[in-house]
Chain A
C-alpha cells in the first residue's frame, strides 16, 4: 500500500507518543522528562489533525490550536516549577524530589 492514508499518520502519532512515554518512564533528569511530555502533546496533535483531514473538518485543527496554546502555558508554569524546585533542592534529579512540603 503506497497510498498515504490516515492510518500512516495515526501510527506515526502512536510511535511518537510511545517514545515520549518511555522517555518519561526511563529518564531521571526532570528537564528531559519535560521535553518528553511536549513530544507526547505533539503526537496527540498529529492524531487530531489527521482525523480532521480524513473527515474534511476544521475541528481537528481548531483543537490542535487549543492544544498548542495550553502546551505553551503548561511549559511556562512547568519550567517555573522546575526552577523553584532546583533552587530549593539544588538538583534536577527527579528521585530527589520526594516531599511536597518542607
Chain B
C-alpha cells in the first residue's frame, strides 16, 4: 500500500472528524480548538498537493490569526451570553441533514462522473524545481499574471481593517455606561449642571467639575454642587464634565 495513500487517509479522516466535532461540540471554545486541528490537517493536505507555501500560509493566517481572533471575540462576549442552543429544533436539523445528503450525492456524482479535463499548464514539478521551488513559482505567478488582482486584494484588506475598526467602535458613551449598572458614581443629577452653566461662575478649567469650596462639603457630600447619587440607569445622571 503506497504511503501517500495512508497519509491522505489519515489526514482526511482527522479533518472530517474534527470538523464534525466542531459542529456538534457544546462548548464554543472546544469548537474553536477542533477548528484549529482541522486547519492544521488541511495544511498537511496542501503539502501533499505540492503547495508548501499555501500550507504555511494556512497555518499562519487561519490557525494563527483568524482562529485567535475568533477565540478573542469569544472571550469578549459575556460567558452568560453563550447558552447552548442544542435543544429542540428537530425540523431545522432534519432539513439540514436532508440538504447535506442531497448535496453530497450531487457532488459525488459530479466528481466521480467527471469526464472533462483541463488544459495542462506549464508548472510541472520539473519546471517548479528549475525555478527554485513552490514559493518562487507562486511568487512569479502572483507578480506577473495576477498583478492587478494582487493589488486589489491589498486594497480589500485595507478597507476591511478600517471597516472593522469603525464597526467595533462603541457608538456612544451611553452604551459603555449601560454595562456597569447599579454602580455608585460621583456625578451630577440631571439638570444640576445646567443650572451651573447658566448661573454660578465656574472655577477651574471649563468643562471640568467645579471644585468644592471647603473640605467639609466634600466630606459630608452635602454640597449642592456635587452629590453622591446611586444610579441604576445611564439616563439618570450625566457624567462629570459633559454638557447636554
Contacts and interface: CB of A to CB of B under 8 A. Distances in A.
In the A-B complex, the 6 residue pairs with the smallest Cβ-Cβ separation, listed nearest first, are A73-B160, A57-B121, A28-B85, A25-B96, A80-B167, A58-B141
Interface centre among B4, B5, B66, B103 (most CB of A within 10 A): B66
Contacts of B22: 23, 32, 35-36, 39
B186 to A, nearest CB: 26
A63 B156 CA distance: 15
Contact of B2 (A2, A9, A61): A2
Tell me the interface secondary structure of chain A in the complex. Answer: helix
B81 A73 contact: no
Interface residues of A, number: 72
24 contacts: A2-B1, A8-B8, A18-B103, A19-B19, A21-B99, A22-B100, A25-B92, A25-B96, A26-B93, A31-B74, A49-B49, A53-B51, A55-B120, A56-B121, A58-B123, A59-B145, A62-B138, A62-B142, A72-B65, A75-B65, A75-B70, A79-B164, A80-B168, A91-B81
Contacts of B167: 77, 80-81, 83-84
B68 to A, nearest CB: 10
B103 A21 contact: yes
B51 A64 contact: yes
Given A57-B121, A73-B157, A19 B28 contact: no
B169 to A, nearest CB: 9
Contacts of A64: 51, 54
A90 B81 contact: yes
Contact of B12 (A12, A56, A93): A12
Interface residues of B, number: 90
Tell me the interface secondary structure of chain B in the complex. Answer: helix
Given A55-B118, A59-B141, A62-B145, A82 B73 contact: yes
A64 B4 CA distance: 23
A18 to B, nearest CB: 5
Nearest to A25: B96
A4 interface: yes
Nearest to B48: A4
A62 B164 CA distance: 26
A2 to B, nearest CB: 5
Contacts of A81: 167
Contact of A46 (B2, B16, B45, B141): B45
Given A11-B108, A32-B31, A72 B157 contact: yes
Contacts of B66: 38, 71-72, 75
A45 to B, nearest CB: 8
B119 interface: yes
Interface string B74-105: 10111001110100010011011101100110
A39 B70 CA distance: 13
Nearest to B159: A73
Contacts of A22: 23, 96-97, 99-100
